[in-house]
Amino acid sequence: EADIYQTPRYLVIGTGKKITLECSQTMGHDKMYWYQQDPGMELHLIHYSYGVNSTEKGDLSSESTVSRIRTEHFPLTLESARPSHTSQYLCASSSQVSAGNTIYFGEGSWLTVV
């Protein structure tokens, strides 16, 4: 069982609002990731981090930003939400120990922008 937590699980907000999706893991993993998943579609990587103070853009361009000030915490922020940001956001983490590391996922945050 993975110890990675996301809050909120469900969020409905108005256009133009600033939101932060929280992600925390208690496994001491160095690598953390944010994936975006539209309903019925595959997952796309939007951000990742190798460790504290390390953040990189993923394969899918996103207007969101991330930070990694602490190992266990990797929040995602949208400064001004728009309906096109409506999606599921999945946080994940893995260790640096070996190749083929398992990536553990949180339960996801469903964001709806109206």
Partner 1 sequence: AQSVTQLGSHVSVSEGALVLLRCNYSSSVPPYLFWYVQYPNQGLQLLLKYTSAATLVKGINGFEAEFKKSETSFHLTKPSAHMSDAAEYFCAVSDYGSSNTGKLIFGQGTTLQVKP
Calpha distance 10→71 (Å, rounded): 25
**CB of 16 vs partner 1, minimal distance in Å:** 27
**Cis amide linkage into residue 8, ω under 30° from 0:** yes
Give the residue, chosen from 3, 11, 22, 45, that forms a contact with partner 1 under the rule CB under 8 A.
45
**CB of 56 vs partner 1, minimal distance in Å:** 8
Give the SS3 label for residue 83.
Answer: helix
Residue 8 or 16: which CB sits closer to partner 1?
A: 8
**Counting contacts by CB under 8 A, is residue 21 touching partner 1?**
no
- Going by C-alpha positions, the residue among 69, 70, 74, 73 that lies closest to residue 34 is 74
Footprint of partner 1 on residues 71-110 (CB under 8 A)?
90, 92, 94, 99-108, 110
Phi, psi of 85 (to 5 degrees): -85, -5
Find the helix or strand (DSSP H, E) in which 87 lies.
strand 87-94
Return residues touching partner 1 (CB under 8 A): 6, 31, 33, 40-45, 48, 50, 56, 58-59, 90, 92, 94, 99-108, 110
